[in-house]
Structure 1
Amino acid sequence: ADMPGSVKLTDCIAETPLNVAVHSHTPIGYRCVYLLVGFDQLALRVFQAHFFGLISTQTKQQYLSSAGYAIRRIYGAAQR
């Protein structure tokens, strides 16, 4: 969405972030973790944009649905 230049949005942060230890025996395992972290960051920004009225509920659902579908496809391919 186009915003006026005077409007600035800060990054979404959690007051008490969840820290999860991750151990993988392969480099692809760590890449999958980074993929999930990226999806989480995307989801936070989508929710923030919707909260401030920059995108509609339908657009929010489209972003989350298409990104979730891509994540599931990637993990499905990795399990084969």
Structure 2
Amino acid sequence: MSGYFKLVDAHDHGYRLKLMADDGTLIAVSAYFPTKQSAVEGIDAIREIAGTGPVVDHTRKDHSHREQSDHRAPRRRIPA
């Protein structure tokens, strides 16, 4: 089984999505959705973006202790 989306009630009477790994580990929590229909549409949008969208690196490059590469390199798009 692969990961899955969990649709949950938000504390403010709307909905949120939880992206779960196949072992049940929480990967991400969505923004607030006011209706269940908008949350379902959010799942469709996430699937589309995750399948086709590029990863754009906006991290600071001063983490030299984490990376071996030149931390002054310009930001770059990382292929998905």
TM range (shorter): under 0.3
* Greater percentage in helix: 1
Per the normalisation by structure 2, the TM-score is: 0.27
* TM-score using structure 1 length: 0.27
Q: Which has the higher contact order (CA 8 A, sep 6+)?
A: 1
Higher strand share: 2
Larger radius of gyration: 2
